[in-house]
Amino acid sequence: MNSPPEFNLTPELDAEIRRAAELLCEARHCVGLTGAGLSVESGIPPFRGKGGLWTKHGEPPLDGYQRFLRDPAGEWRKRLAPTESWAIALHETLGSAKPNAGHRAFAELERRSLLASLITQNVDDLHGQAGSHQLLEIHGNFRRLRCLECVTRFDPKDIAVDPENLPPHCPECGGVVKGDTVQFGEPIPRDVLECCQETVARADCMLVAGTSATVFPAAEFPIDVLRRGGCVIEVNPEPSELTPLATLSLPGPGGALLERLLHHSAAIAGEVAS
Ligand SMILES: [Zn+2]
């Protein structure tokens, strides 16, 4: 586990966080949006760039989904006994990561009814482990399986995987089952995409953390909220393409900033002394 990054809470920044907490408390329907940056403090490096998983271990094929459709049995054999360096590194990194203060803050905001739902681009399961329930995992969850026909998700222990008879089939509809993680070339599952569009259409506030939200479909969500007169609060260590558009941008590590945001929200709600 990485130690939390240094964080200099100046009075100016704290006043901005307090302002963000006010926006959050005034909102009727706030939606969270998170990406890889939020899980860096849990020891999951970004995929690309310096120290990135793909940079060090090579990238998964860009037509991963098409390969699966062509040869599901072959791709399942690779899944059961991974040999590619990137697949082994990904499995080990995700398998040992634990939620950090940022994940816990999102779960607590939901518990306090300050967050209606949480859209994440992460597949690492850490929001779920931290206690978020209204969770929309647009790129799937590496710990689950999904039927390609009826889109039902399964815990792997509930699906009989016979190495002699691959791929496994859905007990509900007989469709082919694959990992829930959305691969390169694979469309976002229609059910989760519809739920995202529904909650974003109702949102008058969006709390974005650890993502520059430049990739479809996530890129459209904050823009949609802004276009309808809502506010967007960004939490990011580095300025992003969203920074000039956001109503408020809080620079710094997600864990510490979100913890402080939670503190101010609670203070506004009168639960603790400010
Ligand atoms: Zn099915």
Domain with 117 in it: what CATH number? 3.40.50.1220
- The predicted model scores a pTM of 0.93
What is d(CA 242, CA 180) in angstroms, rounded to the nearest whole number? 28
Sequence-separated (6 or more) residues with CB below 8 Å from residue 224: 200, 201, 203
Write down the H helix ranges in the chain: 11-26, 53-57, 64-70, 72-80, 85-96, 101-111, 126-130, 190-202, 220-227, 254-268
Residue 145 lies in a domain: no
Handedness of CA 135, 251, 22, 269 (dihedral sign): positive
| pLDDT averaged per 10 residues in sequence order, the chain, 274 residues | 69 96 97 95 84 81 94 95 87 93 97 97 97 98 96 94 94 96 94 97 97 86 97 93 95 94 92 56
Q: How far is the CA of 147 from the centre of ligand 1 (A)?
A: 5
Q: How far is the CA of 164 from the centre of ligand 1 (A)?
A: 21
Catalytic residues: 139
Residue 271 lies in a domain: yes
- Angle of the 11-26 helix axis to the 254-268 helix axis, nearest 10: 60
What is d(CA 9, CA 169) in angstroms, rounded to the nearest whole number? 52
Q: How far is the CA of 179 from the centre of ligand 1 (A)?
A: 13
Per-residue confidence (pLDDT) for residue 48, from 0 to 100:
75
Residue 68 lies in a domain: no
What is d(CA 90, CA 47) in angstroms, rounded to the nearest whole number? 9
Copy the structure tokens of residue 118: 């949480």
Count of domains forming the chain: 1
Residue 263 lies in a domain: yes
Q: How far is the CA of 145 from the centre of ligand 1 (A)?
A: 11
**Maximum Cα interatomic distance, the chain, rounded to a whole number of Å:** 63
Residue 80 lies in a domain: no
Partners of 120 in the beta sheet?
34, 137
Q: Residue 241 corresponds to which amino acid?
A: E
Structural domain of 205: 10-43+100-140+188-274
